[in-house]
Structure 1
Amino acid sequence: MYFKMHFFMFMTLCLFGHARAECPIDTFTQETTSSSAKVCLETYTPECGNLTSLFINEQDIETFEQDGCTVLKCPAGERPWFMSSFENSEFPKPTAEKPSNNNAIDINAPRSTEHVEQTFSQFGIECDGDKWKATKYPLGIHYLTTDYETINLGIDGLYDGMKSEVINMACIGSDLPGE
């Protein structure tokens, strides 16, 4: 607002000729600042506990500090994978292609994602109540039927906004369903 007020007064003086002024409009630059604060991934909350405890093998995850934030990273060539279930999510349970007995759902990270904090942004991972939950599914969800067939659902963003509890996580390097 301070800048706008002075700029308006300067232009008024230039236009009405009340003072001799050079109007260097072509060289006048507006100084802008960004007040957006860096948001760090919460790796621990009193309600949800330590995020790394959800990893099947905690030794595989790398933890380091960067720009004042704790960063979790999968080893080179691997990417995060999450597991949920129909019982622990807001997803409607399929009736046509019945899920296997364990009702597990795979939530996969795009191939280019290696840093877990990028994944949390892409998947909207958050502490909700006392559980870590996903709310976005860029590759949809995948489940195994009783006939061991992989079914992909929600690739079109249908499930975005629905919550699913993250039961387990891992860093994996193999091809995933939905790719």
Structure 2
Amino acid sequence: MKYFLLLSIIFFVLYQSGNGCMKFKLDTTCECPDILKHYDKIKEETIPVIKKGGCKMSITCATHTNTNFLFPLYTNRGEILRPDDMMENSAYVGAADAVQFSDEAYEAPPGPPIDIISYFGVLCDGGVWYVSKYPTGIGYNMKNLTLKYIGTNGEFDGKKARIARFSCKPLA
């Protein structure tokens, strides 16, 4: 039994050093374009981005109403459909916010740092960037121009929405 285990380990190591089709490979490339092309830079600020190989990275932002991801909502496609009471315009944009928007929250100083990649469940799928976590629900403008949040109980978590752009409040 000991020899079988030893021979199995030796075989595995030798096989992995070759070019076999079952060889474990560490993918160091990302099939998605640079996520920073979606970054809505208000000023010439820079945000801390740490690349970890492939599509894995972290982006550190402050918890604030200006830290968010915007994505289109459609009536007939996508994992999250456009609400019936949504304001009619060409954009039909939903938002995943770090903090629910209010005048007080907007004027508040930046909160603690968060890694927005893990906080919002950002992932690459089929060459496209998606958000899949909605910590404060999904915000959108209703027909009467009032801001409304749905899914604040986490019911949309795990559903993907294609990222159109994102904002990041730099740390103070």
- Do the two structures share a fold, i.e. TM-score over 0.5? yes
Pairing 1:60–2:48 present:
no
Q: Cα offset for 1:113?
A: 5.0
Provide the rounded CA distance (Å) in 1 between the counterparts of 2:129 and 2:51. Answer: 23
Any unmatched runs of 5+ in structure 2? 1-27, 100-109
For the aligned residue pairs, the C-alpha RMSD in angstroms reads 3.3
Structure 1 counterpart SS, 2:167: strand
Q: Cα offset for 1:52?
A: 1.3
Q: Cα offset for 1:138?
A: 1.3
Match of 1:86 in 2: 73
Structure 2 counterpart SS, 1:121: helix
Q: 1:71 to 1:91 in 2, by over 3 A?
A: closer
Q: Cα deviation per residue 1:63-94 (whole Å; 9 max; x = unaligned)? A: 36599996533379785211001137411221
Any unmatched runs of 5+ in structure 1? 1-41, 174-179
* Counterpart AA for 1:86: L
* Counterpart AA for 2:47: E
Structure 2 counterpart SS, 1:62: coil
How many residues align? The count is 127
Is the contact made by 2:132 and 2:159 (CA closer than 8 Å) also made in structure 1? yes
Instruction: Tell me the TM-score normalised to structure 1 length.
Output: 0.58
Provide the rounded CA distance (Å) in 1 between the counterparts of 2:72 and 2:132. Answer: 14
Instruction: Tell me the TM-score normalised to structure 2 length.
Output: 0.60
* Counterpart AA for 1:82: F
Aligned-pair identity in percent equals: 22
Match of 1:129 in 2: 126
Q: 1:77 to 1:156 in 2, by over 3 A?
A: closer
* Counterpart AA for 2:92: N
